[in-house]
């Protein structure tokens, strides 16, 4: 069997980040060694709580969780409770985590681990790039120290989801994204053997659409009852959020978290389902055959009146700069969704068996 890939996930744990954490925790191809926290979907302190709670749900209290910078490099903090709920996990409720945060700052953790295991660790950023920008400013050799880097962020051939030109993660801290993209470009100019980062933007992540039928399949794979896991329990208070009656806690969590996401997409995108951006980024990091990519030089606009945060891809090679990103153009979404259901369903079944 292939050796699992050592991963650090930098997260702003809202709903799809939580699914990405569960995916990495469940995958035999991943060795999840740490999660670092950044503000984005929700403020970083809540991210730290959510991340530890989700990992405890998955039985992964061994994963170190470190707090990072809590505000963007330059701009005021923005969060998106309308998308992910006031606590970031939709309608789901998890017990308060029992494990403490790491004594290390997220930036220190990333640099310590990269230096300790040069050429072994792959970093995946699923939120704004604030922590990584600080890390690469402190250690310009970081692109050479990592085995690889992948990100969920940007809109390279489609419109944005935050402004007409910008995707949320880049929008929240465009200065950080500019620093990161430039740092990898400069490092690869000096050493062409450094692998280009894999960038999954809205072009492909909005192909990864999960719907209620997938949650039913997840419940069946786990053995949860009833398998119509998004069926809701009643309550005396008509204003109280109703929650899944699924017997399995992981299935129940996924159903409750995603129902909020489904309701958001129904209001704003016209379908009852959700784009699950972050799990696709983790899945493609572990298996590059899931995506087709194009090597491009990409920079980030930080001063535009209506384009700040835009990821500007040089498809005609007008800048003369070598490509600094492998930008995903298409994804095998069917295989990804099958794998998501199998991995999360298997994790859910295993966790129930452990508890018995």
Catalytic residue ranges: 277
Q: What DSSP letter does each residue of 23-79 carry, written as one string?
A: HHHH-TTEEEEEEEE-SSSS-HHHHHHHHHHHHHHTT-TTSEEEE--SS-SSSPP--
Residue 31: HSE in the Cβ half-sphere, 13 Å Cα cutoff: 8
Q: Report d(CA 313, CA 327) in Å as an integer.
A: 9
- Residue 115 CB: number of other CB atoms within 10 A? 13
Q: What DSSP letter does each residue of 270-326 carry, written as one string?
A: SSSSEE-HHHHHHHHHH-GGGEEEEEE-EEE-SS-TTTTT-EEE-TT--S-PPP-EE
Q: Report d(CA 280, CA 278) in Å as an integer.
A: 5
Burial class (CB in 10 A: 0-12, 13-18, 19+), 30: buried
Q: Distance between terminal CA atoms of the chain? A: 29
Q: Report d(CA 222, CA 287) in Å as an integer.
A: 23
Q: Report d(CA 32, CA 24) in Å as an integer.
A: 6
Rg of the chain, C-alpha, whole Å? 19
CB 232 within 8 A of CB 245: yes
CB 285 within 8 A of CB 148: yes
């Amino acid at each position: 069997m292939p050796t699992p890939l050592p991963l650090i996930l930098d997260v702003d744990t809202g709903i799809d980040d939580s699914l990405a954490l569960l995916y990495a925790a469940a995958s035999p191809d991943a060795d999840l060694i740490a999660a670092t926290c950044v503000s984005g979907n929700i403020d970083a302190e809540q991210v730290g709580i959510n991340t530890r709670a989700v990992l405890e749900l998955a039985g992964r209290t061994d994963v170190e969780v470190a707090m990072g910078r809590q505000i963007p490099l330059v701009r005021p903090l923005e969060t998106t409770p309308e998308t992910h709920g006031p606590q970031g996990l939709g309608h789901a409720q998890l017990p308060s985590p029992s494990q403490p945060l790491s004594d290390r700052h997220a930036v220190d953790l990333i640099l310590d681990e990269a230096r300790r295991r040069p050429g072994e660790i792959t970093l995946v950023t699923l939120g704004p790039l604030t922590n990584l920008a600080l890390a690469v400013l402190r250690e310009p050799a970081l692109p050479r120290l990592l085995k690889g880097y992948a990100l969920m962020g940007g809109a390279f051939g489609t419109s944005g989801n935050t402004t007409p030109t910008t995707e949320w993660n880049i929008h929240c801290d465009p200065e950080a994204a500019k620093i990161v993209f430039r740092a990898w470009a400069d490092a690869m100019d000096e050493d062409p053997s450094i692998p280009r980062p894999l960038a999954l933007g809205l072009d492909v992540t909005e192909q990864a659409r999960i719907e209620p039928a997938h949650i039913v399949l997840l419940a069946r794979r786990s053995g949860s009852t009833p398998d119509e896991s998004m069926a809701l329990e009643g309550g005396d208070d008509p204003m109280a959020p109703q929650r899944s009656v699924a017997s399995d806690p992981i299935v129940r969590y996924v159903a409750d978290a995603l129902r909020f996401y489904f309701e958001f997409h129904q209001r704003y995108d016209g379908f009852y389902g959700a784009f699950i951006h972050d799990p696709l980024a983790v899945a493609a990091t572990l298996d590059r055959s899931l995506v087709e990519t194009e090597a491009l030089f990409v920079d980030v606009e930080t001063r535009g009146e209506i384009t700040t945060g835009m990821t500007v891809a040089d498809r005609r090679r007008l800048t003369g700069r070598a490509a600094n990103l492998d930008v995903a153009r298409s994804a095998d979404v069917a295989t990804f969704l099958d794998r998501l259901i199998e991995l999360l369903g298997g994790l859910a079944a295993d966790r129930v068996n452990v508890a018995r």
